[in-house]
Structure formats: C-alpha cells, structure tokens
Amino acid sequence: MEVLEPTTGTYQLEDYKKMREKFSWEDTKKAFSWNKTGKVNIAYETIDRHVEEGRGEKTALYYSDASRDEAFTFQAMKEKTNQAAHMFRNLGVQKGDRVFIFMPRSPELYFALLGAVKVGAVVGPLFEAFMQDAVRARLEDSEASVIVTTGDLASRIPHNDLPHLEKILIVGDSELTGKDEKFISYDEKMKAASSDDSAIEWVDLEDGFILHYTSGSTGKPKGVYHVHKAMLQHYQTAEWVLDLREDDIYWCTADPGWVTGTSYGIFGPWLYGATNVVRGGRFSPDDWYSTIDKYNVSVWYSAPTAFRMLMAAPKETLENHDLSSLRHILSVGEPLNPEVVRWGWEVFNLRIHDTWWMTETGAMLICNYPSEPIKPGSMGKPIPGVDAAIIDDNGNELPPNEMGNLAIREGWPSQMRKIWNNEPKFNEYFAIKGWYVSGDTAYQDEDGYFWFQGRNDDVIMTAGERVGPFEIESKLVEHPAIAEAGVIGKPDEIRGHIIKAFVALRDGYEETDELKAEIQKFIKSELAAHAVPREIDFKDKLPKTRSGKIMRRVLKAWELDEPTGDLSTMDDN
Ligand code: PRX
C-alpha cells in the first residue's frame, strides 16, 4: 500500500489521536468574544473581532480580476460590512428575512453577504451562471425579499412573478435603477449608510445565517439551512485541516455560490484571521499559477477537476511561475485520484490533502491532516469531535473493508438544521436513528481511513459541482421536440463525470446534430451552462418503471455496456 508520510515540521494539529480523545466542542467556544455574552453573530466574529483584538491593519482580502486589483484590511472590511448592514436595515430587512446575492465574485459580493448576515438575515448565495428558471426556483422557494445583483444579471430575475421579492439592489451603473421602484442603486445606498456597528443583530447560536441550494436526485433544489453555531466548526477545521498560521496567504478557488466558497472562502479562513485571496474571472492554468505567484499563496484549497486541468496544461505554464510560496494544498468535491496526488507530489513537492464533506454538513468532516500519513485515494479520517461509520440499511455498523452507507453520528456544530420548507426531505437524512446518512457509499480500512466508492443515488458530480438529473430532465421535456428525457453522469477523465442525456423525440422531429446543439443551447439559456448535457443520445423510447419513472440505472448500464440488472419493475409496453 502506497503511503505518503508527513514531512517533519510543526502543525496546528500535532497529535490527531490525542486530540480525538480529549477534544470537546466546548473548548472551541472559548476562542470567541460571545463566550461572555451568550449572544453571537458569525459575521462579527469573522471580521470585527480581529479589529477588536488589534489585527485591524492586517490585510483581510486581496481581490483581483481582469480589471480590478484591490486590498482591504480587517478594519476596512469592518466598515464596509457595517455599511452594508445599515443599508439592509434602512431597506427594512429584519432578522430571519432571506437576502439573496446573485453576482460574480467582487469585493461588493463579500460586503453584501457579510452585511446581510450582520443584520441577522439568512443569506442565499446564487452562482452567477444560473439562468432565469434556476434563479426563479430558488427565490420562490425561499420567499426572498431582497436580492443583490448586477445590471447584467438582473434580467434573469423574473421579479414580476415573485410577489415576495421587494427590492433588487444593483451594484454598479445600470439603467434599471430609477425606472421601477423595486430597483435600487447599491452604490447610492452604501454611500448613504453609516459604518458604525449599531446595525449588528446579536442572535443565538441556533439562529440561521445561510441557505445554500443544492441538488438531489429527485425534486427541486433543496435549501440547506445553517445556523451561526457552524462557526465553531469553520474555525476549528481552519486550524486543524487548513493548518492556518498568522502569516498565511490563503486561496480557496471556489465561488461563494457553492458551500465551499462560503464555509472556506469566507468563514473558516476569516474566523481564523487569515489573509484571503479572491480571484475573479474564469479558470485558466496560467491565470491560476499567476495568482499563486503574485500573492505568494501559501495555503491553497481547490478541487480534483481543477488539479486535473492543471495536470493537462503544457509544462511551460508551470515553469513560468514561481510557486515556492505554497506550503499546504487541499482538495474537496469529488474523489481525488491517486495520480493527482502523485502529480502534486512531483510538481509542488507537497501532498494534496483530500477532505470530504457536503453542503448539508456545513463544514469538513473526514480529512487528511498535515501531521498524519496519507493513503492516496482515501478521504482520510474524521475530525476530532466527530464520529463517522459505515453502516448497513438497518443502522448496523459494518466491519473494516465492507462497503456500505457513509454515516455521521448526529450532532456536530455545522450540521444543517433544516431543509427550507421541506421537513420530510430533511427527515430522510436522519431516518436511521442517531445517524446522518450521507448518500455516499464508502468503506473504512483497518487503520480507520475512509475510502469513497460512489453516490448511492443519481446525483451527478461534474467538475466538482453537484447537479440533480431531475432539474435537467424537467427542463429538457419543456423543449418542443422532446417527449421524454433521462439524464445520467458519464465517467470522464477530467471532469469526473459529464452530463449525458437520453431523449425520445416527439413525432415529426428529426435526430440531427442541429437539434442536439439547439437542445444544449436551450438548457444553457434557461438553466445554467454547467447543467448542459455534453452528450445527447436519441432513443425511440426510454426505460421506465410501471409508475412511469425513468430508470436511470438502465441508462447507465447502456452507457457503460454493463448488465442492466433486475428489470422486473420495468414497463415493457
Ligand atoms: O459525493 C460526495 C462528493 O460531493 C458530495 C457533496 O456535494 P456538495 O454538497 O456539492 O459539496 C461539495 C463540497 C463540500 C458528496 O456527497 N464529495 C465531496 N467531497 C468528496 C466527495 N467525493 C469524494 N471525495 C471527496 N473528498
């Protein structure tokens, strides 16, 4: 068995075993100022606490994209987020109201998001690539009253169909502001807002602060609701797993539209007081290496797809940059292939540390640590304070090396507290008493390392993003040519999986490449670019159960040229 031993050095988590034995989440509470008052606000702890503790002049944020290059200290972040908080207060936002953020990465995104959390709102970050239907589904379900966006993206918000949506704040110049009283200039409201800290709402640990929509294999996207208490775990994993130190420059490449981009693009690193790099714009190997080089990034958190794309880039791209500032690399979102770990070892002389968690878990749960050996291909071991196990469908724990449901003992701090408006869905995760059942299958080896085997539902992980087949299928059948559609993930070397659709056409439509392209364009313009099926196969009819459900398992077997298994529920008419 291949094992990468830790390099000698000092680490934030020196002794994993000992910490597991002695640690209690009560210990972490002591790091925060609310320990004395009992009231809390995660945004205050993330930013303002550092100013109170004398770190106001430290750089909190380096932001750059093709046209901007800016830096903000913790003091500046405190003022900007206070201003945003006052802006929301002045607009009538109350504790518990849903405030959505729908814009590309920019400093304003971070001000608005933290400002909304400061006033006790529940913030809903939306990925900038979402098109109208994806935006509508999320705003409708959450009954959001305010959204912050840009002039370019505002047209994708179907505000006339959303009775709860009262205000649309537009960042930057736009013709929309002034035309309709719903559209308001963010810049003007920010300018007029005070930067004192009187707008902060002190809340309880169990009050909500964020709603991340994510996909399952059935039904609409689910609103995963997290509470302020999650900060304990954001903070503690920033210490143990990100291994952050006083002088680190940290870069998480994920967009805040996804949970990694908030838990570890905002909260974890800033709760720990690190300097955070945010790079706007699209991925390119040259741009990414330049970012590491330019800011002297020392701790870097990314995803297997990105690493695989970097691996595939010409060697010169790597050689043109000085990446010697890197000290610690981490990965999340999909299985981290051993060959990627080997590549990392070869080119950076560093181990890539895989971490496992989910939108629902709010923060890291199973990880590799700088002070522990790594078995390439394994997700690692549970963090201190958390118990994980492999269980069968009746909740019995399975012995080492047996595959089963990856489950977590209920009660970790950053655990989701509800699925918005959908209690039955929430309860499904906890159907086995005492456990959260993840939906992943895995096994644990005799040394306690967990090994990911797959999803046991039809959720597709493509390029590190989680896509629900149902949402795409529903959209596909809205296309006039399509009678039926089934969507699966097809294994792909770079992206992990790509989205593949099987469609049956309505009478009178021809199976042409033009039609395929038109269908792809339709999904891209109505849902999102990352939801587009890269491959489409035409079929006369699709395999269905007698109750009319498309059998994705049969589609997968067709695709992989595997046996189709038990077809007893299939409707063969
Ligand atoms: O299947 C697992 C996969 O991503 C799913 C969660 O997706 P999402 O909620 O979008 O969160 C992604 C990032 C927090 C999991 O059920 N996944 C996540 N991390 C890993 C992984 N699969 C294998 N290895 C991982 N390290």
Residue 215 has pLDDT above 90, yes or no: no
**How many angstroms separate the alpha carbon of residue 358 from the centre of ligand 1?**
5
Residue 573 has pLDDT above 80, yes or no: no
Residue 466 confidence (pLDDT): 86
Check if 67-227 and 458-560 are the same fold.
no
Q: How many C-beta atoms lie closer than 10 Å to residue 199's C-beta? A: 23
Pick from 467, 461, 425, 424: nearest CA to 134: 467
Are 531 and 472 within 8 A, CB to CB?
A: yes
| CATH number at 67-227 | 3.40.50.12780
Residue 498 has pLDDT above 60, yes or no: yes
* Residue nearest atom 12 in ligand 1 by C-alpha distance: 333
Give the 3-state secondary structure of residue 379: coil
Residue 359 CB less than 6 A away from ligand 1: yes
Residue 257 CB less than 6 A away from ligand 1: no
Q: Which CATH architecture has domain 458-560?
A: 2-Layer Sandwich (3.30)
Residue 260 confidence (pLDDT): 97
* Residue nearest atom 11 in ligand 1 by C-alpha distance: 358
* Residue nearest atom 21 in ligand 1 by C-alpha distance: 334
The C-alpha atoms of residue 529 and residue 129 are separated, in whole angstroms, by 7
* Residue nearest atom 24 in ligand 1 by C-alpha distance: 335
- For 70-124, the pLDDT digits (tens) are 999 999 999 999 999 999 999 999 999 999 999 999 999 999 999 999 999 999 9
Residue 570 confidence (pLDDT): 65
- For 69-78, the pLDDT digits (tens) are 999 999 999 9
- For 236-279, the pLDDT digits (tens) are 999 999 999 999 999 999 999 999 999 999 999 999 999 999 99
- For 271-303, the pLDDT digits (tens) are 999 999 999 999 999 999 999 999 999 999 999
Write out the two tokens for 244.
Answer: 């952050």
**How many angstroms separate the alpha carbon of residue 389 from the centre of ligand 1?**
17
Give the 3-state secondary structure of residue 464: coil
**How many angstroms separate the alpha carbon of residue 332 from the centre of ligand 1?**
7
- For 515-531, the pLDDT digits (tens) are 999 999 999 999 999 99
Residues in the chain: 573
**How many angstroms separate the alpha carbon of residue 356 from the centre of ligand 1?**
6
